[in-house]
Structure 1
């Protein structure tokens, strides 16, 4: 059974990226499990690279929001990163979540890298009117998927800066209806 994890990376609740993601998700088959997390309401501490710090326990056991996100990530068959395009890349909360993947790689008993292989990574983003503004964001996530031997399943983009602008992007809204058509 397919299980979708939607990770909302906007600092604005109900923003254009979330609107686009929810419209796309409405078209998933009813037997597909959906789990939604807003990264702004599940804060993670700033990522600290502990690999080369003498005397530090390398990777403390994940707890709190980190454990919640880790468990949801490894349980899902499909991960949807829904992040607005900020300065040509993902939002800070999305980047922080991805930074934690580095720790999870190195916790041997998790087998994180192996467990991610074969999952599908989807991208949904809203951006301003500049046509190629999301290229770096999409490339970052595509490369992350490749590194983990995940399938990069595609990117859905829409235009919108002010609240609900994306609803006027008729092409994006039409693409949302078929974005998950292969499921």
Structure 2
């Protein structure tokens, strides 16, 4: 299943995982989003402004309960379920996603076990994307980040569009990364394949 043939029906959820507003990762994500058709639905959620409670694993203790829609967890769950395309826009922190982003993904484990949601079946066939700024000239340091997203998508039967990487440390640095900006222009135009286990680096 692909949404590229009917762009109007695509609903993008941009999950901003940085603890800093308008940082390099967000700037790169917005550059990529500018290339979407004007009538493509976009929703942007900054995790730092809607902090999720720490994930608690209840799978052997009790049933998970769907969070109310007027809570940060409920809002994110509803937004995740309705999106055709989920964009994880998190800077590279210690070679993987940021803490708030990891907590969001941990909540997926609870949503998988929440009665009445069918989280896995709902997300199957939809597309997961990643966008990250990193303060390193060697893109392979982001392999754990890419693996986290690819393998998460594979487990849920999702498509994986890969990760758009940009170089930046100080705010605004990524806007000087001409290669990343060029890639941003076509990033969402690619036909994302179904994710496969395991994630392998290009040189493996």
Q: TM-score, normalised by structure 2?
A: 0.85
Alignment match of 1:61 (pick from 61, 66, 69): 66
SS of 1:157's partner is strand
Q: 1:155 and 1:69 mapped to 2: Cα distance?
A: 21
CA RMSD in angstroms comes to: 1.1
2:92 maps to 1:85? yes
| Residue 93 of structure 2 is aligned to residue 95 of structure 1 | no
How far apart are the structure 1 equivalents of 2:120 and 2:163?
22
- For the pair 1:36 / 2:44, whether they are aligned, the reply is yes
CA shift, 1:129, in A, is 1.7
Residue from 126, 131, 135 that aligns with 1:128: 135
Q: Once the two structures are superposed, what CA deviation does each residue of 1:143-174 show, in whole Å capped at 9, x if it has no partner?
A: 00010000001210000011111011110011
8 Å contact 1:128–1:161 — kept in the other structure? yes
Stretches of structure 2 lacking an aligned partner (at least 5 in a row): 1-8, 192-204
By relative contact order (CA 8 Å, sep 6+), the higher-ranking structure is 1
User: How do 1:1-183 and structure 2 match up within 5 A?
Assistant: 1-53=9-61, 57-63=62-68, 64-131=71-138, 132-182=140-190
Q: Is the 8 A contact 1:85 1:133 kept in 2?
A: no
1:130 deviates by: 3.9
Shift of residue 65, structure 1, vs aligned partner: 0.6
**Using the alignment, how far apart are the partners of 1:60 and 1:115 within structure 2?**
18
Q: CA deviation at 1:177?
A: 1.2
TM-score w.r.t. length of structure 1? 0.95
CA distance in 1, matches of 2:190, 2:181: 17
Q: How many residues align?
A: 180
Greater than 6 Å deviation, 4+ residue runs: none
